[in-house]
Structure 1
């Protein structure tokens, strides 16, 4: 048999191919023609399985039904077709005269294609398995003999080189195309930080790049997978998919029904695929689906789902890679959008706290000033008609101060914020009364909790009001001493105060207005005492620290 002429013709035909598909088509037909058999089928090795890639008659005749049956074949492992495993293991052409014997092929292959005799030619390139050529004559045709083996072996070596080179070139083009696609998708996704809009764009781009009928994103929410966004969801399923979680909150781990959360799961026949046995896939007539985890920076966000409702769709390896690349970008975009939303909310909260602090301190000091002035007026007022009115106004001011403290958060609770408020209080008292006053603190005021700070501030306000009403001319000091487990506080006036000769008061006079102060300190498990210095007045006490 003349080997050279067919090899030259096949080589020239291969050179004219413009794509992997056209290469496989030319290779299958010319190989069948050169070997003098009816038909040649090509199976390519992908992910440890043989995938049907091309089948041609030597005559160029078409048989649409047979082609559809061939294209619909499931990828098979070597265990499913022992004769293919033998050709690979022995690295030689295997001649089969009786395909029906010994379970050499899956039964449905024999039933569908009815081979009479055939050759299985392993395609090897540098010890790498590229695929197989299957040359056959249908049942009743001329038998294939040993005379075909040598030519088939030579063509197989040439075919393996051509296919490997074409796949490498195609892989390079696909990688470049995937990179460009991911860059485009990244620009689209990254053009906004609004979480809902980010998710909507992700679903749109994912559906577009793989030609899916629909796409959706489900995110983890309280141990469930809940819908975040969808693209081209059928109207009859929209409301259900929009409102219902895929996984019930009682599920120990969201996504468990998807198997390994780091791995994509897909099927071109969802209805008959046991991997998609979850109830949700029975409720909706999905034909093909790919579910890809949204994961980045070791954080599992949720899943990206692409679905085909109207027809079955088998994903090529490059398409699955592309979807996984989009999913990684999507996870990062969702994480960033969440962080941005959280930062935005924190900024709003910080601004609110800042304004609350300003209003709290400003209004508190203003109302304290008003109350102090009213106290001075009441002290000097001799009009029986005017005093009740001033008392009523003073009560209203006190009520306003209480409401301000309830409605607005106090100023900063750290050492600087509290110290600044007390310093402001002393400054306001000094300006209004003309009485010298100073504040001294020893220890870290940042250890004072909000309730202790509030109690101390009110105590000092009320103490200063008493001093102002008495019209003292001495000097006022406020002192804070913080120890390991308590804070000692003191307000002292070195002029006037309690009756002469009284060193200590068990209870302050009613007109001093310290009833609430005493109750407040005791409610915090503290103590307060009132002392009379030989020429002045002092309140002193302690409050426990956490």
Structure 2
């Protein structure tokens, strides 16, 4: 059946085409749900995902107010995100709500609630004076199996008539996809925490293996020089020269670790930051460190931070372990991906044996790459240098 002129115009305005095998209304609804789901899954942090879920739900069902509560184990909410309420209004409302009244009924009942007027329900409990007046209400749990991850609340549909059964079905469908996005965001943040712990452990090893051992040697050499001062002046001078060399080595190692600990400065963009990093290392080391970039490369902020971090670690490995004369860093765009390469002409290693040397951090770099949807590879062999390659889809 041919759709009416108004229906066709409505779909064009929403940026939607006909869905094959579906009526116009169903096709538009599924497209709207799909768009909302895609908007949610573009984000990785839990808080961002919650905010986008609330905003998308309000737009999807034309609600004036929307909220998403994530319950904690203490009778309150770990997070409570709202849409339609300004920051000033939210401050006047006061502390996060407790799990009582309708909120408790939703959490414990574990089923959708659709009400013509929430104020007439037995579970209704008055809100703070500054709270907006709510009337028609729709609440749907966000579930992962039997676990309730949170609840989406909508209130005051902008068009007359309140929320319908179709609205409830659409919100339930959206909530099922939102549950996947929330679970993925939690896993991502957990992996980030594990990566931070691994990085701290690696830096602790660096401090112990490099700096602490050199300081211990420096202390012993200084004691030897002190003991020989009266008996053997020539030997004393030699020992003091050794003290100076050890102190210089320890200072260089400490500077390298401190340099790694400094937060990456991406204020000027990824390309500028990589170029600045290469220039600093080129001045500080005898090894030539060069950087090339064919064009500006723009990634999400989180992706840029990971690319910079992997570049730093790969260059550090080349300077520290490879004995390289030259390190080339490049950032290019190929086939829809940003491609980072760090290549050196140093001693190389057997890539088939993995990171058995313990200090290269290849597993950490690979995990970082996976965390932003990138692919990581190493091409290396004894005597012919090392090439680290990272690809991140644009």
Q: Give TM-score, length-normalised by structure 2.
A: 0.47
* Structure number with larger C-alpha Rg: 1
